[in-house]
Amino acid sequence: MLAAAVSGCGLPAGAARSADTLVYAVETEPDCLDPQVSPLDATAALVRNTHDSLISMDRGGTFHPWLAERWTRSADGLAYTFRLRPGVRFHDGTRLGASAVRATLDHAVNPKTRSMYAASLLEGYRRTVVVDELTARVELGRPNAAFLQALSTAYLGIQSPRALAKPAGELCTRPVGSGPYELVSWSRKHSITLRRNPDYRWGPGPGGRSAPPRIAEITYLFVAEQSVRLGLLTSGQADAVDNVPPRNVAALRRSSGYEVQRTDNPGLPWTLFLNPNRGPLADVRVRRALTKAIRLNELVDAVYHGQRTRAFGPLSPTTVHHAAGTPWKDDPEEAARLLDAAGWKDRDGDGYRVKDGKRLSLFWPYSDFLARDGRDVMGQGIQAEARRAGFELRYTRLDPGQFATRAGSGDADVLAFSFTRAEPDILRHYFGSGKTAEKGGSNLFRIADPALDGWLDRAITSPDAAVRATAYENAQRYVLDRALAVPVYVPATTVGYVSDLRGLRWDPSGYPVFQDALREDS
């Protein structure tokens, strides 16, 4: 049965492939390839290989030239001037110029684009002025210390202005960048093929090759089932696969002919958000009790077989300005003391705590698109752990439409998310009072805390790294102290691949980049 599934999803069994081609089996198919439209990691990971950014950022948070040779920032932080590389061409032959920068950024913020993420990265954007053919000045309405990091992301990859003038539907299927690979074809629900850009000479610094890629063609196969993806690799029908199941990592590493690389993703760990504005969780003692009641160390180890790291703060350790949280274990006695103090002293016949005749019941909805990476199993484990302490945690599966309605209106007691971004301003997206769902953010429980807002606003408006670090440290510790969230584990990208594939590297968001990769026999 597995062999049949593998043959159906991949290439014909036994098919020969050229040594300078690569087949990469991935879990998720992009919804739209326009990086200014789609919010999906799957889109960003693919277009990182087809679209270049104005600047690049390394894992330590330092910025380097890419399409922009150099840049300056005005004293008031309201203007950035970029001098572009000469000689860069998009895949359709259009020359890179300041007009392409203007067209891309205007496209991102245009309401007609219906951007689901990129527009939020350009907070405060006013306009781009074409100073001359290779000089663009970007003007902001307020200082934005996260602006350069935003420009370094795949979501703001620069696009050909000729392509941007085409209908939106065509742009979703045939975007045009200037990257080391260009799009050849997209067979929906099956594969996308990229072809080497033979003219590529403008890789990001430091460490990027300013030369065409060594691998001539990459085929992304879309295979949702983990075991089938792994079967494609071990049967020789794929050269690399993403999201290797944690239970299989050790065995694959021991197998001759295969390698496994894992990188922990920056941004928001997989986190339980606790609603402080309704029901039992309006009492901070109850929120703290839930945090103490769950044996997260044991759960993470059991579900992920040592392939995921416990999170102890609201930012991943690979995020700039991450403040190391104090590791904690469950403390059932402290959880019981807190619940008693909050008036939840008695238990009903099912063992749940009650107060004034009402059960200590919490509603936690989820949908299948949030259940990847074993999170449905984690949810069930957390539900069982909470029950030991007397919480009825109603972990409830909803279809995507129902979930969007309930979550978007804050109609829940617990929600769980993670988000990849190599910038600590992601905290403001989830905890800032100005980032509710109605305003394009993810503060779904409408937290409005003046102290938290003060730190987050200070961090986003200050150009001083020390000021930002202090503000983010205060904000992270406050989130934990007030039990507004329970960090669970750090998401990771785990790629398994054949041993003769060399030069695979990662961008700061944890996306694999193939520009430097080669096959040893090629």
For the segment 507-522, the average pLDDT, to the nearest whole number, is 86
Quote the CA–CA distance of 276 and 339 in Å, as a whole number: 16
Range 323-327 contact pairs with CB under 8 angstroms and sequence separation of 24 or more = 323/472, 323/473, 323/476, 323/477, 325/476, 325/477, 325/480, 325/487
CA distances, 212 to each of 68, 97, 328, 515 (Å): 19, 21, 48, 8
Q: Lowest-confidence range among 26-35, 237-246, 368-377?
A: 368-377
Report how far residue 92's alpha carbon sits from residue 107's, in angstroms, rounded to the nearest whole number. 18
Domain residue ranges in the chain = 1-27+180-264+496-522, 32-168, 267-490
- Under 8 Å CB-to-CB from 316, ≥6 apart: which residues? 264, 265, 266, 267, 268, 269, 322, 490, 491
Q: Does the pLDDT value for residue 42 go beyond 80? A: yes
* Mean pLDDT across 492-501: 96
Of the candidates 318, 324, 323, 427, the residue with the CA atom closest to the CA atom of residue 59: 318
CATH superfamily of 32-168: Dipeptide-binding Protein; Domain 1 (3.90.76.10)
pLDDT of residue 390: 98
pLDDT at 7: 43
- CA 431/CA 443 separation, integer angstroms: 5
Expressed in percent and rounded to 5, the helix, strand and coil fractions of the chain are: 30, 25, 45
- The superfamily in CATH containing domain 1-27+180-264+496-522 is Periplasmic binding protein-like II (3.40.190.10)
pLDDT tens figures, 72-116: 999 999 999 999 999 999 999 999 999 999 999 999 999 999 998
* 460 and 146 Cβ atoms separated by less than 8 Å: yes
Whether 208 shows a pLDDT value over 90: the answer reads no
Topology of 267-490 in CATH? Dipeptide-binding Protein; domain 3 (3.10.105)
Confidence of residue 452 (pLDDT cuts 50, 70, 90): very high
pLDDT band at 6 (very low <50, low <70, confident <90, very high): very low
